[in-house]
């Protein structure tokens, strides 16, 4: 029986384990690989795994979906493939005629998912939106030959939009100070053509790569602004009742952000190849090789800067944008300009930043210039203005060694006075020192150095008519690379690349500021020295003050009776003669306090101390101008300057009366009056020794004390305190 129960228990446990294992396996089978989903989402996926979901979209929205080499490709298509691999859902693009068709069929329930709809309060009543897969800023186009350079220039003007576009209502909300006359079109191409014909002043539409196609197809137009405050949000929207599906799609976007970025970059490159109409030879070059070697000569700020294997500066930024546009990979090598040119002619370098000259045309192809600025003539503020290079005849002109300026000047001047320099810094130094009159340089380069170094005395003094644009020379061994770059360069906004490139190079050390900093540093050092000296003096004074205070306090304790505040015997012995004012006659009074020992013995030392303090106070009251000494326990010496004997006797009698009128609480219900035996002597002048007068006064005091002993004690029996 026991064995049967054990076997039944094992059987039950085994069934439970098998059930749990099957649940785990089912969960793993339904869970999306690489995505973290909750139980409800996994269950929903399992229930809908065999269903096909259609996705509506705008087939003319740029890099999201486009025809390329006979296939429909783009960000959306790669996104749906990855979504199917991650979620296990069968999601396919719907066959739609345009955005309106896709939107209307979604609202009617014929399409399951809508891609690229911006969330609005009206739409949110019937849809659920994911976070955007990507955001495309709306773009503003105008004609090249008009004064419209910004969005603000369209205030009060006629501006075209796609019919029912989200931006029509959003523009006045984001830019309330701009009021435009809206003109709506069913297709973008119709709006762009109306802009070209002058029927519009501007056209606003979503980006997504379309801006490059518009510029390529309509060379008379210019992109004047990107409205980053208004974006076309490429969301995934589902019907309002599809909450779990919306959550799944949103979770996918959140967890696959890095992959989506890669997919977007790939789609952008393919779309750019399409809109640039690259030939099959160019496409094959990109697919087979797609790599080029770029040579960077010595730093030529802010255009060229080599830093740890990277090409920085304006030219480096332009080259990076060219590569990103169609997918060219550039490998960077560095060396002197002569080395770079030699390697390029031998096939070791494919691209280099160089001026276009006749002798270089046999080895290099020059695509569109990356900068169309003409070189300028630079001199001091005091230098005379120059009309083109012909005004430099007979003038000393600084020319960087190897630059095209020397050849150009020798061909155009009768008497060229050329001073070769190693770099632009040397040229600027020669101009500022007056060793040369002028130099020729690119305006962006000059501005960078003049502003960076703080050379306010160097300015533009003239223009040149020579084609001194900035080019990338491409080796004739790479014709496909040259033709691709020629198509890409016009699409890149030079001002944006210029700003980014300047930020990537090191800032120059402002020499004017450096001199100012040196002066300030010197002044600060001097101020610091003065401050340290002041601190030292103050510290020394503080130390002296502390030492003086210490000596004063030490002297006070050494020469002062701590109880009464009178001078003590030490003071009398060391300083009495010097301290006494020479005001004669002087009266010397000796006082012996009576009954101090009796009070100490009967009522304690605290009562004795109180008696001493009371008597000392009475002495001060009687003789405010006197010199007071406590010579011992109950012995006192008073020296009275400028005092006659009669005044001394009157003062002694006054002290006796003060003592009689004083009361001292010796103990509870016990009161007593202080009394003292007094004796005095007169000192007529300084020749009379003080000690002799003290001895005479002391003798008189003992006589007075003897008489007092014949009387009854000064300390009466304890008696209650007299009433007032």
Examine residue 248 and state whether it is found in any structural domain, yes or no.
yes
Contacts of 635 (CB under 8 A, 6+ apart): 590, 591, 592, 593
Assess whether 259 and 217 both reside in one domain.
Answer: no
Write down the residue that tokens 């002799």 correspond to.
Answer: 692
CATH number at residue 297: 3.40.190.10
Which helix (H) or strand (E) segment holds residue 386: the answer is none
Identify whether 476 is part of a domain. no
User: Could you tell me if residue 537 is inside a domain?
Assistant: no
**pLDDT the model gives residue 222:** 92
List the structure tokens of 413: 């001047």
Distance from CA of residue 288 to its chain's centroid?
A: 46
Indicate if 292 and 381 belong to the same structural domain.
no
Query: What DSSP designation does 368 have?
Result: S
> What's the confidence (pLDDT) of residue 291?
97
Phi-psi region of 675 (alpha: psi -120 to 50; beta: other; left: phi over 0): beta
- Looking at the structure, do residues 361 and 430 belong to the same domain, yes or no? no
Q: Tell whether 657 and 616 lie within a shared domain.
A: yes
Is pTM beyond 0.75? Reply is: no
Q: Are 459 and 371 in contact (CB under 8 A)?
A: no
**For residue 475, how many other CB atoms are within 10 A of its CB?**
23
3-state secondary structure at position 296: strand
Task: Tell the burial category of 463 from Cβ atoms under 10 Å away from its Cβ (0-12, 13-18, 19+).
Answer: middle
CA distances from 118 to 13, 109, 170, 171 (A): 55, 19, 11, 14
User: 289 and 326: one domain?
Assistant: yes
Domain boundary among 224, 255, 275: 275
Question: Is the domain of 351 the same as that of 411?
Answer: no
Task: Note the pLDDT of residue 447.
Answer: 92
d(CA 166, CA 430): 60
Give kind and range of the element (H or E) at residue 567: none
Inside any domain, residue 517 = no
Tell me the CB-side half-sphere exposure of residue 256, using CA atoms within 13 A. 29
Q: How many Cα atoms are found within 13 Å in the side-chain-facing hemisphere of 590?
A: 23
Which pLDDT belongs to residue 521?
82
Name the helix (H) or strand (E) containing 73.
strand 71-73
Q: What digits encode the pLDDT tens for the residues 604-627?
A: 888 889 999 999 999 999 999 999
Q: Are residues 53 and 123 in the same domain?
A: yes
How far is 123 from 194, CA to CA, in rounded Å?
31
For 661, list phi and psi in degrees, rounded to 5. Answer: -85, -10
Domain that holds residue 644: 569-709
For residues 318 and 309, what is the distance between their CA atoms, to the nearest angstrom?
16
pLDDT (0 to 100) of residue 524: 87
CA 133 to chain centre: 32
Alpha helices in 175-291 (DSSP H): 188-196, 210-217, 243-255, 257-275, 280-288
Tokens of 544: 């002296």
Q: Are residues 264 and 313 in the same domain?
A: no
Asked if the structure places residue 650 within a domain, the reply is yes
Residue 594 lies in a domain: yes
**Is 662:553 a contact under the CB 8 Å cutoff?**
no
Q: Does residue 521 form part of some domain?
A: no
Q: How far is CA 404 from CA 315, 409, 459, 477, in A?
A: 18, 9, 22, 24
CA separation for the pair 35, 84 (Å, rounded): 12
**Cα 506–512–513 angle (5° rounding)?**
70
Cis check for the bond before 302: say yes or no (omega within 30 of 0): yes
In a shared domain, residues 108 and 246:
yes
**Residue pair 450/342 in contact by the 8 Å Cβ criterion:** no
Are 195 and 183 in contact, with CB atoms under 8 Å apart? no
CA atoms lying within 13 Å on the CB side of residue 348: 11
Which phi and psi angles does 202 have, rounded to 5°? -160, 165
pLDDT of residue 10: 39
Residue numbers in the chain where pLDDT is lower than 70:
1-33, 511-516, 551-553, 666-671, 711-724
* 119 assigned to some structural domain: yes
The 3-state DSSP class for residue 36 equals coil
Same domain, 176 and 319: no
Same domain, 577 and 673: yes
Do 78 and 63 lie in one domain? The reply is: yes
Q: What are phi and psi of 271, to 5 degrees?
A: -65, -40
Q: For the chain, what is the domain count?
A: 5
What is the tally of helices (H) and strands (E) in the chain?
24, 30
């Amino acid at each position: 029986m026991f064995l049967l129960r054990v076997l039944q228990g094992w059987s039950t446990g085994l069934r439970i384990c098998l059930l749990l294992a099957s649940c785990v396996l089912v969960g793993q089978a339904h869970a999306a690989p690489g995505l973290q989903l909750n139980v409800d989402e996994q269950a929903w996926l399992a229930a809908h795994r065999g269903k096909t979901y259609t996705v509506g979209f705008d087939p003319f929205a740029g890099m999201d979906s486009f025809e390329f080499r006979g296939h429909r490709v783009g960000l959306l298509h790669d996104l749906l493939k990855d979504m199917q691999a991650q979620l296990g859902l069968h999601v396919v693009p719907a066959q739609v005629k345009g955005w309106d068709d896709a939107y209307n069929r979604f609202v009617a329930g014929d399409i399951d998912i809508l891609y690229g709809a911006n969330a609005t309060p009206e739409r949110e009543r019937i849809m659920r939106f994911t976070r955007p897969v990507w955001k495309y800023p709306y773009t503003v186009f105008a004609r090249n030959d008009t004064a419209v350079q910004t969005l603000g220039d369209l205030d009060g003007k006629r501006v075209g939009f796609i019919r029912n576009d989200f931006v029509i209502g959003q523009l006045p909300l984001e830019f309330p100070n701009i009021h435009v006359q809206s003109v709506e079109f069913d297709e973008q191409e119709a709006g762009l053509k109306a802009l070209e014909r002058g029927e519009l002043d501007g056209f606003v539409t979503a980006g997504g790569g379309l801006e490059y196609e518009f510029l390529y197809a309509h060379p008379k137009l210019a992109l004047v602004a990107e409205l980053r405050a208004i974006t076309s949000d490429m969301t995934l929207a589902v019907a309002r009742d599809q909450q779990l599906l919306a959550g799944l799609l949103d979770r996918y976007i959140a967890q696959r952000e890095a992959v989506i970025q890669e997919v977007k970059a790939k789609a952008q490159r393919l779309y750019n190849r399409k809109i640039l109409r690259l030939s099959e030879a160019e496409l094959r070059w990109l697919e087979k090789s797609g790599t080029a070697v770029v040579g960077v000569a010595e730093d030529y700020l802010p255009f060229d800067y080599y830093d740890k294997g990277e090409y920085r500066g304006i030219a480096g930024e332009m080259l990076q944008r060219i590569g990103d546009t169609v997918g060219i990979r550039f490998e960077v090598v560095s060396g002197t300009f002569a080395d770079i040119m030699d390697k390029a002619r031998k096939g070791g370098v494919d691209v280099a930043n160089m001026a276009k000259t006749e002798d270089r045309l046999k080895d290099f192809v020059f695509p569109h210039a990356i900068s169309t600025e003409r070189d300028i003539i630079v001199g001091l503020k005091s230098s005379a203005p120059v009309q083109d290079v012909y005004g430099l005849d007979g003038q000393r002109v600084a020319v960087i060694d190897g630059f095209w300026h020397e050849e150009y000047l020798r061909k155009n001047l009768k008497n060229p006075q050329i001073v070769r320099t190693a770099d632009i810094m040397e040229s600027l130094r020669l101009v500022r020192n007056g060793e040369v009159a002028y130099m020729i340089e690119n305006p962006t380069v000059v501005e960078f150095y003049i502003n960076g170094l703080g050379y306010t005395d160097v300015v533009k003094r003239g223009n040149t008519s020579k084609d001194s644009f900035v080019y990338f020379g491409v080796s004739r061994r790479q014709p496909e690379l040259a033709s691709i770059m020629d198509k890409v360069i016009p699409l890149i906004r030079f001002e944006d690349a210029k700003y980014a490139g300047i930020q990537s190079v090191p800032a120059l050390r402002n020499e004017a500021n450096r001199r100012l900093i040196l002066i300030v540093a010197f002044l600060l050092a001097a101020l610091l020295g003065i401050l340290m000296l002041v601190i030292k003096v103050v510290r020394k004074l503080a130390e002296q003050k502390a030492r003086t205070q210490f000596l004063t306090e030490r002297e006070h304790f050494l020469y002062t009776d701590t109880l009464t505040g009178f001078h003590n015997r030490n003071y009398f012995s060391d300083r009495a003669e010097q301290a006494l004012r020479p005001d004669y006659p002087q009266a010397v009074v000796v006082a012996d306090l009576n009954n101090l020992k009796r009070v100490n013995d009967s009522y304690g030392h605290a009562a004795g101390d109180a008696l001493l303090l009371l008597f000392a106070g009475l002495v001060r009251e009687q003789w405010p101008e006197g010199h007071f000494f406590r010579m011992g326990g109950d012995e006192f010496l008073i020296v009275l300057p400028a005092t006659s004997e009669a005044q001394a006797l009157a003062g002694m009698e006054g002290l006796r009366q003060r003592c009689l009128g004083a009361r001292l609480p010796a103990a509870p219900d016990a009161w007593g009056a202080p009394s003292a035996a007094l004796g005095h002597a007169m000192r007529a002048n300084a020749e009379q020794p003080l000690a002799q007068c003290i001895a005479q006064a002391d003798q008189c005091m003992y006589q007075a004390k003897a008489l007092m002993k014949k009387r009854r004690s000064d300390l009466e029996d304890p008696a209650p305190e007299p009433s007032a």
